[in-house]
Structure 1
């Protein structure tokens, strides 16, 4: 469920520090999933970071109806995600999504990645591999968008430096 909570603020256009903080925290959780840990641990220094309560409340209020609808249609299926190897593979995918959040275009670029992480997290909580699979597909789209953004910035800098 921590994955869902960390991803929810990214489902809406948010100012730049939110995707960065969420991406870092989600990355720590993903690494722990990869290592097979059952209880999440976050460094106290990261836990000390704050996000405006109003921003988080707004994101949760707007995203909660969609989350409730997804919970309503979910059921146990595609049990491959419930195995230790499946969980570790899902952790790798969440780590890629978290890294994508670190490079996401401001304000809207994090939305596909936030939605992807929410779906993967809900798939894990509900033991629904189909929902997790849809989340992985959204994650691929979001990572491609973030990668394109980074390539565009680097190309622009190179063009300016070459002028």
Structure 2
């Protein structure tokens, strides 16, 4: 397994020469830890207030990744159509500048522990966690609802990269709060619609 850490990978992505990065370019850089690092990278944009459809797109991609983890696949598969989609390198660079200092602090604190998530059953459990968070992300409240979910997803992914089960558990705890927050939002919207139509 490569010794590169998440902060190193983000720095490499931000330093690419092309104006736009395709999803295929990003997956190629991730190499042997593509699942874990994809989780971090797809969670990262949602740690900031982002307009639609960014949370929706990230949510669907995470849903696909989660299903593959639960199926026990060794590396991620993405449709050619998705691999060809691109993002501006400047956006990646902006996100990396904000995230890398925090990631480096977390990486200094993190270490291999609580290795229950390294087993096949543990990885499938992580897949279920990511599946739940991705579904919540898809229906998250605009601009702010995705923030706790994005943080949770990043921590889960970072915990996998660093083989730190405690970090995965912290991410799970924040994710539960994020899911409850957005469940309240969905309930309020549905209740409002039902009241509007006197249902």
Where on the TM-score scale, by shorter chain, does this alignment land: which range?
A: over 0.9
Correspondent of 1:63 among 99, 111, 129 = 99
Deviation track 1:7-48 (CA, whole Å, cap 9, x = no partner) reads 111111111111011111111111111011111111122233
Q: What does 1:16-55 correspond to in 2, within 5 Å?
A: 16-55=52-91
Shift of 1:6: 0.9
1:147 matched to which residue of 2?
183
Question: What's the RMSD between the two structures over aligned residues?
Answer: 1.4
1:82 matched to which residue of 2?
118
Total equivalences in the alignment? 163
2:147 matched to which residue of 1?
111
Shift of 1:52: 4.3
Shift of 1:61: 1.8
Scaled by the length of structure 1, the TM-score of the pair is: 0.94
Runs of 4+ deviating beyond 4 Å: none
Q: What does 1:1-12 correspond to in 2, within 5 Å?
A: 1-12=37-48
Quote the Cα distance in structure 2 between the aligned partners of 1:141 and 1:121: 18
Quote the Cα distance in structure 1 between the aligned partners of 2:80 and 2:178: 29
Given that 1:14 and 1:107 are in contact with CA atoms closer than 8 Å, whether structure 2 keeps it comes out as: yes
Q: Which has the larger radius of gyration?
A: 2
Correspondent of 1:134 among 141, 151, 170 = 170
Q: What does 1:92-111 correspond to in 2, within 5 Å?
A: 92-111=128-147
SS at match of 1:162: coil
SS at match of 1:108: coil
Q: Say which is worse superposed, 144-153 or 85-94, in terms of deviation.
A: 144-153
Quote the Cα distance in structure 2 between the aligned partners of 1:59 and 1:147: 27
Scaled by the length of structure 2, the TM-score of the pair is: 0.78
1:121 matched to which residue of 2?
157
Residues 1:157 and 1:27: Cα distance change in structure 2 (over 3 Å): same
